[in-house]
Amino acid sequence: MSESVFPDARPFPVNLRLAGKAVLVVGAGLVAHRKIGQLLEAGANVTAVGPEVHPALEQLASEPLPVGSLTLERRRYTSGEVGAYLLAVTCTDDPAVNSRVHKDGIASGVWVNSADDPENCEFTLASVVRQGDLQITISTEGRSPALAMWLRKKFEREFTAEWAELLDLLSDVRDEARHELGTSEIHGWIEALDAGVPELVAQGEHDAARQVLREHLGLSKAATELKASA
Q: What is the DSSP string of 4-29?
A: TTSTT----------TT-EEEEE--S
What is the C-alpha to C-alpha distance for residues 44 and 24, in angstroms, rounded to an integer?
10
The amino acid present at 79, given as its one-letter code, is S
In DSSP terms, which residues pair with 173 in a beta bridge?
Answer: none
What average pLDDT score do residues 203-221 get? 91
Q: What is the mean pLDDT of the chain?
A: 90
Q: Is the pLDDT of residue 217 over 80?
A: yes
Q: Is the distance from CB of 51 to CB of 76 less than 8 angstroms?
A: yes
Asked if residues 118 and 142 have their Cβ atoms less than 8 Å apart, the reply is: yes
Q: Are 105 and 122 in contact (CB under 8 A)?
A: yes
CA 154 to the chain's CA centroid: 18
Q: pLDDT digits over 185-194, tens only? A: 999 999 999 9
Backbone angles phi, psi at 13, to 5 degrees: -75, 135
Closest CA to 166 of 214, 200, 129: 200
pLDDT at position 1 is 42
- What percent of the chain is predicted at pLDDT more than 90? 73
Vertex 95: Cα angle to 53 and 145 (nearest 5)? 80
Q: State mean pLDDT over 122-151.
A: 89
E-assigned strands of 27-102?
45-49, 69-73, 87-90
Q: Locate all alpha helices (DSSP H) within 42-183, ordered by sequence.
A: 55-62, 95-108, 145-158, 162-181
Phi, psi of 107 (to 5 degrees): -65, -30
Whether CATH 3.90.1410.10 fits 22-125: no
Q: Is the pLDDT of residue 85 over 70?
A: yes
Residue 25 main-chain phi, psi, to 5 deg: -120, 120
The answer, yes or no, to whether residue 220 has pLDDT greater than 70, is no
Which amino acid does the sequence have at 183?
A: T
Which positions ≥6 away from 107 have C-beta within 8 Å? 80, 83
pLDDT in tens, 54-81: 999 999 999 999 999 999 999 999 999 9
In this structure, is the dihedral angle defined by the CA atoms of residues 44, 149, 171 and 188, taken in order, positive or negative?
negative
Model pLDDT for residues 146-175, shown as the tens digit of each residue: 998 899 999 888 889 999 999 999 999 999
Q: What SS3 class is residue 161? A: coil
